[in-house]
Amino acid sequence: MIPFSDLKLQYQSIKEEVDAGVERVLRSGWFILGQEVRDFEEEFAAYIGVPYAVGVGSGTEALHLALLACDLAPGDEVITVSHTAVATVAAIELAGAKPVFVDIDPISYTMDPSELEDKITSVTKAILPVHLYGQVADMSPILTVAREHELKVIEDAAQAHGAEYQGRKAGSVGDLGCFSFYPTKNLGAYGDGGMIVTSDSGLAERLSLLRQYGWRERYVSSIRGINSRLDELQAAILRVKLRHLDEWNAKRRNHAGLYNRLLREAVLTTPMEMTYGKHCYHLYVVASKCRDDLQTFLRDNGVGALVHYPVPVHLQGAYQDLGLGTGALPVTEQCARQVLTLPVAPELTEEQIGGVCDLIVEFESSKGT
Ligand SMILES: *Cc1c(COP(=O)(O)O)cnc(C)c1O
């Protein structure tokens, strides 16, 4: 059995540190927005290389609040991609805006900046690139278009903790960077959690109000806000895990390098790390013309191989009223048919990665390819 990930094994490796953090919080009697959250915000901001970080309830809410902080009016448009977790699009609609999709680059699987100009209208307010799989989108041309049209750039960095673009950490390149601490992310809580980072003190101030009813002073709302808070237990756990993030990301990169070497002769396409940045391999995604058969074969042989994502958002039942049918985003649609995610969690061993590769070679030779 080669599992997709093994969070129990990861916990065993940091049990003492985590248990001490949890006990500290339980003994303190303070559970929401306290010292642990303040310390974690400071430590995470320093890690990303920005002055401000605001802890919130989830990655979806990080995106939602980031959009609210940009003062969107109902009917405003936000340009993003359809090849993403549905959360990206759900957050845009939660903020009252309309998602507008551009296609992706087939090599990086991220936003194709050359499509942006065509989609900008008088009500476009923001561009929301997604650093999918742990690879940062090509931010430089995206920022150029945004500056020209006075649009905000919000990075969906929910899969990119520690990834880099031209030497800068994902999340620190645009106006706002949004992270998720869903348990399986490269930096994961033991529950839900999220964070928004920024270098803009005004946006940081607005975000800290928005996450708690607009309170500057308790029980008195200075702006309309919601309740989206990171809790003390998750912050204490995440503080421990942040200290291991670079070491875990290095293991993911090592596994990815091993896959790339062992699958050099394979027919399927291995992922490409763009020269402008550093991939953090939240997911190691290959592309295969016989994806479904390969996934079944791997699963039958005990390998946890998943598809991220099988149906692009614009083709999902819930989003039919956006009016984009099959053929609207050809690269996105082709990727959805071909992508397959192989296990790359840091807890896996090189032998396990080798085992997955042996099975792929066996599958391809049985197909006569
Ligand atoms: C996980 C994820 C989110 C949402 O984060 P949650 O914490 O689950 O709400 C948003 N965008 C992307 C790309 C994600 O992978």
Which of residues 222, 242, 262 is at a domain's end? 242
* Residue listed under structure tokens 């093994």: 6
Q: Whose CA is nearest to atom 14 of ligand 1?
A: 158
The answer to whether residue 1 is domain-embedded is no
Does the pLDDT at position 105 exceed 80? yes
Pair (86, 39) in one structural domain: yes
**CA 158 – ligand 1 centroid, Å:** 5
Does the pLDDT at position 2 exceed 90? yes
What's the DSSP call for residue 96? Answer: T
Pair (34, 120) in one structural domain: yes
Atom of ligand 1 nearest to the CA of 282: 15
pTM: 0.98
Whether ligand 1 lies within 6 angstroms of the CB of 189 is answered as: no
Pair (296, 234) in one structural domain: no
Q: What is the pLDDT of residues 336-364, one digit of tens each?
A: 999 999 999 999 999 999 999 999 999 99
- The CB density around residue 318, as the number of other CB atoms within 10 Å, is 11
Pair (311, 226) in one structural domain: no
Q: What is the pLDDT of residues 150-201, one digit of tens each?
A: 999 999 999 999 999 999 999 999 999 999 999 999 999 999 999 999 999 9
Region 83-102: mean pLDDT is 98
Atom of ligand 1 nearest to the CA of 194: 7
Region 288-300: mean pLDDT is 98
Sheet holding 164-165, edge to edge: 168-169, 164-165, 277-278
Query: What is the C-alpha separation between 363 and 9, in angstroms, rounded?
Result: 29
* Residue listed under structure tokens 């030497």: 167
Atom of ligand 1 nearest to the CA of 132: 13
Instruction: Give how far Cα 316 sits from Cα of 64, 94, 126, 228, 234, Å.
Output: 21, 17, 23, 27, 32
Region 56-79: mean pLDDT is 96
92: domain range? 7-242
Pair (206, 139) in one structural domain: yes
**pLDDT reported for residue 293:** 98
Pair (286, 193) in one structural domain: no
Residues 6+ apart with CB under 8 A from 225: 209, 210, 211, 212, 213, 214, 215
Does the pLDDT at position 369 exceed 70? no
Region 124-147: mean pLDDT is 98
Angle at the Cα of 216 from the Cα atoms of 125 and 151, rounded to 5 degrees: 10
Residue 73 pLDDT class (50, 70, 90 cuts):
confident
What's the DSSP call for residue 326? Answer: T
**CA 60 – ligand 1 centroid, Å:** 6
**pLDDT reported for residue 367:** 86
Pair (144, 224) in one structural domain: yes
Angle at the Cα of 356 from the Cα atoms of 298 and 289, rounded to 5 degrees: 55
Region 48-65: mean pLDDT is 98
Domain count for the chain: 2
Pair (228, 251) in one structural domain: no
What percent of the chain lies above the pLDDT cut of 70? 100
Whether ligand 1 lies within 6 angstroms of the CB of 56 is answered as: no
Instruction: State the CATH number of the domain containing residue 353.
Output: 3.90.1150.10
Which of residues 242, 270, 294 is at a domain's end? 242
Whether ligand 1 lies within 6 angstroms of the CB of 85 is answered as: yes
Whether ligand 1 lies within 6 angstroms of the CB of 60 is answered as: yes
**CA 163 – ligand 1 centroid, Å:** 16
195 and 185 Cβ atoms separated by less than 8 Å = no
Instruction: State the CATH number of the domain containing residue 89.
Output: 3.40.640.10
**CA 252 – ligand 1 centroid, Å:** 19
Q: Whose CA is nearest to atom 2 of ligand 1?
A: 158
Does the pLDDT at position 17 exceed 80? yes
**CA 185 – ligand 1 centroid, Å:** 9
Return the bridge partners of 127, or none.
79, 153
Pair (253, 235) in one structural domain: no
Query: What is the C-alpha separation between 364 and 298, in angstroms, rounded?
Result: 12
Pair (237, 281) in one structural domain: no
**pLDDT reported for residue 292:** 98
The answer to whether residue 251 is domain-embedded is yes
What percent of the chain lies above the pLDDT cut of 90? 98
Return the bridge partners of 80, or none.
101
The rounded Cα 129 to chain-centroid distance in angstroms is 10
Beta strands 164-165 and 194-198: pairing type?
unpaired
Q: Extract the tokens encoding 75.
A: 């009917």
Pair (211, 176) in one structural domain: yes
Q: In the chain, which ranges are E strands?
A: 52-56, 77-81, 98-102, 124-127, 152-156, 164-165, 168-169, 176-180, 194-198, 215-217, 220-221, 277-278, 284-287, 339-342
Pair (102, 196) in one structural domain: yes
What's the DSSP call for residue 207? Answer: H
Q: What is the pLDDT of residues 217-257, one digit of tens each?
A: 999 999 999 999 999 999 999 999 999 999 999 999 999 99
Q: In 32-81, which ranges are E strands?
A: 52-56, 77-81
Whether ligand 1 lies within 6 angstroms of the CB of 180 is answered as: yes
**What are the φ and ψ backbone dihedral angles of 224, each rounded to 5 degrees?**
-75, 130
Region 26-37: mean pLDDT is 97
48 and 169 Cβ atoms separated by less than 8 Å = yes
Mean pLDDT of the chain: 97
